[in-house]
Amino acid sequence: MDANLKDFILMLADNNMILGQRLGEWCGHGPVLEQDIALTNIALDLIGEARTYYQYLAEKEGKAEDDYPMLRSERAFKNVLLVEQPNGHWGQTIVRQFLFDCWHYFHLEAMVESKDATLAAIAEKSIKEARYHLTFSGEWMIRLGDGTEESHEKMQASLNDLMPFFDEMFDPASYEVACINQQISPDLSSIHSKAIAKVQSVVSEATLDLPTDYFARKGGKTGLHSEYLGHILSEMQYLQRAYPGATW
Amino acid sequence: MSPNYSLEANFQNRIDNEEKIEPRDWMPDAYRKTLVRQISQHAHSEIVGMLPEGNWISRAPSLRRKLALLAKIQDEAGHGLYLYSAAETLGTSRSEMIDLLHAGKAKYSSIFNYPALSWADMGTIGWLVDGAAIVNQVALTRTSFGPYSRAMVRICKEESFHQRQGFDILYTMSQGTEAQKEMVQDAVNRWWWPSLMMFGPTDKDSPNSAQSVKWKIKRLSNDELRQKFIDMTVPQAAVLGVTLPDPNIKFNEKTGHYDFGEINWEEFYQVIAGNGPCNKERLAARIKAHEAGQWVRDAATAYAEKQQQKKSISVA
Ligand SMILES: [Fe+2]
Ligand SMILES: [Fe+2]
């Protein structure tokens, strides 16, 4: 398989995988039972989508789907830094989710047109879920931003903390540039304009201020991660690493 | 004849005729109280029960197993929701019930005070704990209170799926490496006796049971349910190739049931009293989630009120 295409697929897969893994930490600990269920739903969707990408790679490379999430090390993961950020409180999780959903939804919308038929089919299938995620996180942005004074402050602080991780999603890595040239990946600048427009409208309805003066963080897409990822992987990969070759 | 007497007689009559009691029907206060206690206890068990399995979501060994575990725990949250709603029809709100749990005044199933120590525990909880829950809940589909009975019908379908899923985890491991087989045996050793305790004290030590049976809240006694569970489970253990940690389990030709050894009731009462291995952690986790969520619930309420105001202004 073409190395650029493989890295591109891994990026798509790892983004969903790591965020799904993070959301799984909430299961049983949510602020209200209904929201516990809703967040677990999103985790299920994201890990489900990640799984279809890993299956695609596995089929092409004659490997097993679990080899990719379970047996690669930190530097081989291509997810953006945003998704590996800790859950923090419910508001931080919502802001992280909303920023991700703004990329995820518009990216999938464009991926439906991908020249890679398998990726286009995955996008077709996943976009309904991503639309629901964006609605969910957007509504919670507004509810908490325009809720109480305390919730407003918490949301503003979370947005200030997480906005620096937004731009990486739209800044093409070299393998993405190659895939853009082959029309496998969409052009990221048009996705960025749609995503930022959505961010602006929701943030303003939430009575929050969108930070503009920040230093954009990046590195995850090329395997240069925060210290958080190693801990995520050491939990996620524990059984596969401790008992090599076992079937579960 | 006092009017109260005829109400009670009429109520018992309806029960004897297998009619379902609905929330708006007249019912004795004690019936209502017993039900609120039992249904809320059941709801709390679903919610606290999410914690031991939640402990393994991040470490599930494959994506397939991770998705199945997440979905299973999510089902339990859904069971909690139906049950809280069923109890709310009797006039007690979900938040009152949750406050009682957090104050240590409401109970939940003692089983969830045991730790989930290996991946085999995910299989064993599904197989034994959901298995025991099914036996209990299938009987409760015929309970006299309509909303409770209907909640049980919905829940039972999912519980049997959970049990099969748990069995499948164990079966896969039992076909695997020596280390995996050891994990399975160890998990079964730890969960077997606590699973039997899920049915509660023996009938002779369970004073509430007789009245509950008369009101058809309970359709079978603790000992009858426990026996059903053992009869169902022993042959399944043979398929898995595990040894149940009770040398006295033996099929009794005369009774047609499996005999079994003495349950350690001292352990049961200690766990109920709060001295199980994880009582403190379980309750602390629930309280922490609830307290950390307070600002979220407050904000959601404040936002909804603002929206309501905007609506009434625009209508005016
Ligand atoms: Fe359940
Ligand atoms: Fe269950």
B302 touches chain A (CB under 8 A): yes
Sign for the CA dihedral angle at B78, B79, B80, B83 comes to positive
For residues B49 and B62, what is the distance between their CA atoms, to the nearest angstrom?
22
- The answer to the question of residue A152 being in a domain is yes
Secondary structure tally for chain A: helices H, strands E: 11, 0
Give the Cβ contact number of residue A191 at 10 Å: 22
Helices (H) and strands (E) in chain B, counts: 14, 2
Residue A115: inside a domain? yes
Q: Which of B148, B29, B155, B171 is nearest to B89 (CA)?
A: B148
Asked if A22 and A80 touch (Cβ cutoff 8 Å), the reply is no
Q: Does some domain include residue A114? A: yes
Best A36, A55, A202 member to test B by mutation, with max B CBs in 10 Å, is A36
Distance B89 CA to ligand 1 centre (A): 20
Q: Is B178 on the interface with A (CB under 8 A)?
A: no
Q: pLDDT averaged over chain A?
A: 98
CA gap A107, A49 in Å, rounded: 14
Number of domains observed in the structure of chain A: 1
- Report yes or no on A247 lying in a domain: no
Segments forming the whole domain that contains residue A139: 3-242
In angstroms, the CA B32 to CA B90 distance is 7
CA distance B297 to B78: 19
- Predicted complex: ipTM over 0.85: yes
Out of B60, B285, B295, closest to residue A151 by CB: B295
Residue to mutate among A29, A46, A52, A94, with most B CBs inside 10 A, is: A29
Residue-wise pLDDT for A159-197, tens only, equals 999 999 999 999 999 999 999 999 999 999 999 999 999
Q: Give chain B positions within 8 Å (CB) of A54.
A: 63
What separation in angstroms does the CA of B54 have from each of A27, A28, A41, B60? 6, 7, 15, 10
Q: Any CB–CB contact under 8 A between B85 and chain A?
A: no
Chain B residues within an 8 Å CB radius of A37: 74, 77-78, 81
In a domain, A157, yes or no: yes
Q: Note whether B293 contacts A151, CB cutoff 8 Å.
A: no
Strand-pair partners of B251: B258
Helix ranges (H only) for A62-89 are 67-71, 81-84
CA-CA-CA-CA dihedral for A147, A148, A150, A151, to nearest 10: -10
Task: Dump pLDDT digits (tens) for B8-37.
Answer: 999 999 999 999 999 999 999 999 999 999
Q: What is the pLDDT of residue B206?
A: 83
Ramachandran assignment for B53, one of left (phi > 0), alpha (psi -120 to 50 degrees), beta (any other): alpha
- At A45, list the tokens: 């969707």
pLDDT tens per residue across span A57-114: 999 999 999 999 999 999 999 999 999 999 999 999 999 999 999 999 999 999 999 9
How far does residue B72's CA lie from ligand 2's centre (Å)? 7
B95 touching A (Cβ < 8 Å): no
Per DSSP (E only), the strands in chain B are 250-252, 257-259
Question: Residue B113 and residue B98: Cα distance in Å, rounded?
Answer: 18
User: Which pLDDT score is estimated for B3?
Assistant: 58
Q: What percent of chain A has pLDDT over 70?
A: 100
Q: Which residues of A touch B118 (CB under 8 A)?
A: none
Nearest to B299 among A41, A65, A143 (CB): A143
Chain B residue numbers touching A202 (CB-CB < 8 A) = none
Q: How far apart are alpha carbons B129 and B195 in whole angstroms?
A: 6
Q: For residue A248, is it within any domain?
A: no
Contact B146, B137 (CB under 8 A): no
Asked if residues A36 and A10 have their Cβ atoms less than 8 Å apart, the reply is no
Q: Provide the CATH number for the domain around residue A176.
A: 1.20.1260.10
Picking from B50, B58, B177, the nearest residue to A236 by CB comes out as B58
> CA A164 to CA A158: how far, in whole Å?
11
Is residue B61 within 8 Å of residue A239, measured between CB atoms?
Answer: yes
* Listed residue (A108, A114, A98, A99) closest to A12, CA to CA: A108
B54 touches chain A (CB under 8 A): yes
CB A69 within 8 A of CB A236: yes
Contacts of B21 (CB under 8 A, 6+ apart): B11, B14, B15, B27, B31, B144, B145, B146
Three-state secondary-structure class, residue B259: strand
Q: B200 and B127 in contact (C-beta within 8 Å)?
A: no
Instruction: Measure the CA–CA gap between B311 and B316, rounded to whole angstroms.
Output: 9
Instruction: Give buried/exposed letters for A63-83 (b at 16+ CB in 10 A, else e).
Output: eebbebbbebebeebbbbbbb
Burial of B291 (0-12, 13-18, 19+ CB in 10 A): exposed
A99 assigned to some structural domain: yes
Question: CB A208: neighbour CB atoms within 10 A?
Answer: 21
Low-confidence ranges of chain B (pLDDT < 70): 1-4, 316
Instruction: Tell me: pLDDT of A158 over 70.
Output: yes
Q: Which has the closest alpha carbon to B62: B148, B172, B188?
A: B172
B256 conformational bin, left if phi > 0, alpha if psi -120 to 50, beta if neither: left
